[in-house]
Structure 1
Amino acid sequence: MRSIILALCLLFASSACVFTFAQKTKSAEEKAQKMVEKLDALLGLTQEQKDKILVIYSKPKDQRGKVDAQLKEILTVEQYKKYQDNKAVEKAKKGEGKTGDKQEKKGGNKSKEKTK
């Protein structure tokens, strides 16, 4: 009886692991598709470009290599410049939030030191 229960528990656990792995794989493919759609909306890609970019983003991050270099080969000069400009804007937006928080923290520390 114990061996049957143990076998069922093992079967259930392995099924859960397989299901979780399948979900992660699906979400990676969805992320790649969303990235291609985002680039298409920004740059107006051809179907051939979409397919090549989808192949790049479908790979795991550690196997992609230098994405910018690969995109430079796929995109036209105008598209790549637009891509770089957009990337710089997004990076600046992310950096703005971080620097604002740091400045507030630093300012808070100085005011505490002055009151002591």
Structure 2
Amino acid sequence: MEKPQIEAQSGPAPEDLVIEDIIVGEGAEANPGGVVEVHYVGVDFETGEEFDSSWDRGQSTQFPLNGLIAGWQEGIPGMRVGGRRKLTIPPEAAYGPEGSGHPLSGRTLIFVIDLLSA
């Protein structure tokens, strides 16, 4: 697989987490609170500006899901290895409302996540 390109979004940002499967995987299923290995790209919904990408670092990343933002904790379980999923995550499920002390506070974020192992 290669690094996904995330198109600019139009219209208002969704108020709830939006989960879209781009590719449905056929491997093991990610479980809530499990450990996952992923490749991902994150962009700001409004500007389309990329703020993080494991692809650019040249290596995948492994995480315990319960250590991640709520949008990932809710949006990754049920995904299967080999799948690619797009998560559109409102601020409440990401880094909190404007002024919460994180550079991405108050922002709706889009991640495209490839699940490599679960």
Q: TM-score, normalised by structure 2?
A: 0.24
Q: Larger % of strand: which?
A: 2
Between structures 1 and 2, the one with greater helix share: 1
- Larger relative CO (CA 8 A, sep 6+): 1 or 2? 2
Larger Rg: 1
